Every structure is written in structure tokens, then in C-alpha cells.
Amino acid sequence: MRAKVEHPFRYIKRVFGYDKVRYRGLAKNTERLHLLAAFSNLMIGRKYLLA
């Protein structure tokens, strides 16, 4: 179960370069995290979207 949860964070950290968080305000950090999570879901699910 743990591997399924941590796999999307690999995309966020490595592919999108979000290794370190800079303090930009809670709202901006939250918005960026939601956006990167959505993009990582698209990248993980692209094989299902193209089929």
C-alpha cells in the first residue's frame, strides 16, 4: 500500500523539480501542490487516456 501512495510523489519531486519547498505563503504552496498533483496524475494515467 505504501508504494502506491509514494509513487505520485516521485513524479512531483523528480519530473517537475519540486525537491525543496520555498515558503511563498500557504495559499501559493497549496495551489502549486494541487497543480503538480494533477499533472502527475495525468502523467501516470496517460497510458489509460490514450487507449
Tell me what pLDDT residue 51 has: 66
Tell me what pLDDT residue 6 has: 72
CB of 21 closer than 8 Å to CB of 29: yes
Number of domains in the chain: 1
CB of 49 closer than 8 Å to CB of 17: no
Residue ranges, the chain, pLDDT below 50: none
Tell me what pLDDT residue 8 has: 75
pTM for the complete prediction? Answer: 0.61
Tell me what pLDDT residue 2 has: 64
CB atoms under 10 Å from CB of 36, counted, come to 19
Structural domain containing residue 29:
2-49
